[in-house]
Amino acid sequence: MKTIRIGIAGGAGYTGGELISVLINHPHAEIVFVHSNSNAGKPISDVHTDLFGDTDLKFSDTLSQNIDVLFLCVGHGDAKKFLDANPINENVKIIDLSQDFRLNNNSTLAKRNFVYGLPELNRESIKKSDNIANPGCFATCIQLGLLPLAASGNLNSEIHINATTGSSGAGQSPGATTHFTWRNNNLSVYKPFEHQHLNEIGESLTHLQKNFIEEISFIPQRGNFSRGILAAIYLESSLSLEQAQKLYSDYYESHPFTHLSLKNIDLKQVVNTNKALVYLEKHGNKLFIISIIDNLLKGASGQAVQNMNLMFGLDEMAGLKLKGIRF
């Protein structure tokens, strides 16, 4: 099988590091360059120290067009600027991990059309696409908790979401709310009812359920752990628990990374993996949903590689059969 030649732009951050770690162990991938202006010439393992002994690659400040796919791991708002400043050959596929092309009204750049890269929603479109807008981490976790209901027309009330993310979700650049002394033994709410991922969540749900007009109330929280997202969701539903469980089992039956659990779930089951787990309970007329992912893998770099696999006709799980650290 053909080896996929890969370029990575913005390789010094968390998502870039996770991507490199997955791809150097991918059976069909060859990393041609990892671009970083500020780290050019340095060994990648000087920045991503967990890769010491795994790769001799160095950061580059130049781009090669002799690649099959370019991953953009640059900051939000910088992907468009990067592509404007560095035109990429049309035969090179692009997978963008920023939010620049996720929304319908932001999905075009010159002749490039971006498909929203949530495989559990758009798998067939991803297979035929040359350009992918990788979903946000909160958006991935929350949508995987709701897609089966939307696909069956069962979103008929306000949706209430409380979701907590680890500190790596804020990126590698240090800030007041990522400093260890502030984050440790602490919990805080930010952007209540206004988080930017609400837009892509809403677009996906209305794509599946055209008449969905209900409010989505989302309270994001910063947790005092490094990685992972747990979303606790509830809404009114006439479905019995057994009916809801069948809906979810049937919807995710053909999706290898997303699974319905019949037992309560916790973050350590998915951290360091590309898996998503969903658990359901029924309380009176309310359906309660827990959804969990690793924000850096299924919420970012792992999902990006999953999309690459689909785009190039590979086994969807290639390079992604990762084992979490349970304790």
Place of tokens 């209305």: 206
CA distance linking residue 306 with residue 22, whole number of Å: 11
Q: Is residue 296 within 8 Å of 14, Cβ to Cβ?
A: yes
Closest CA to 230 of 278, 167, 179: 278
Annotated active-site residue in 9, 47, 137, 231? 137
> Would you state the pLDDT for residue 87?
87
Encoding tokens for residue 201? 């969540």
Write the pLDDT tens digit of every residue in 201-228: 999 999 999 999 999 999 999 999 889 9
> Would you state the pLDDT for residue 10?
92
> Would you state the pLDDT for residue 229?
97
pTM: 0.94
Measured N-to-C along each axis, helices 301-311 and 14-23 cross at an angle, to the nearest 10 degrees, of: 50
pLDDT tens for the chain, 327 residues: list them. Answer: 689 999 999 999 889 999 999 999 999 999 999 999 889 999 999 999 999 999 999 999 989 999 999 999 998 888 999 998 998 999 999 999 999 999 887 777 767 899 999 999 999 999 999 999 999 999 999 999 999 999 999 999 999 999 999 877 655 566 667 777 777 888 999 889 998 889 999 999 999 999 999 999 999 999 998 899 999 999 999 999 999 999 999 999 999 999 999 999 999 999 999 999 999 999 999 999 999 999 999 999 999 999 999 999 999 999 999 988 777
> Would you state the pLDDT for residue 182?
73
Residue 73 a catalytic site member? no
Write the pLDDT tens digit of every residue in 151-203: 999 999 999 999 999 877 655 566 667 777 777 888 999 889 998 889 999 99
